[in-house]
Structure 1
Amino acid sequence: MQIDLTNDEMVLLGDLLRISYDELREEIYKTEDTDYKRQLKTKEQALQSLLHKIDSARS
């Protein structure tokens, strides 16, 4: 699948992903439930991958 985005859309998407990532990191830190923390860390890895792809595409 391919999605065509304008530069402004890519900047916005990157900003939104970074906000989500920061909020997720805080939630991981505060979570005591081991299973839930594991799920959150899986989401964290996916967000990191998306951010890397967005940053690479903008370079």
Structure 2
Amino acid sequence: GRLEGYWEQQLNAWDISAGALIVQEAGGTVTDYHGNALTHKSQSVLATNGLIHQQLLAVLKGQSNAD
């Protein structure tokens, strides 16, 4: 792939669902900004190749406006 990680806020379930499935089926990791599994109420997404997920979570937790 071209990206190792992607993140975004203020999303709805229909914005996230298809992409999350593709990343997971390809062996990547997808959570919200807090590292929790996505639900229909999730408004943020962090999708990675899985290798850098914890590092990006740490960076995002340092941002004050992460939901």
Report which of the two structures shows the higher radius of gyration computed on alpha carbons. 1
TM above 0.5: no
Return the structure number with greater strand share.
2
**TM-score, length basis structure 1:** 0.33
Return the structure number with greater helix share.
1
**TM-score, length basis structure 2:** 0.30
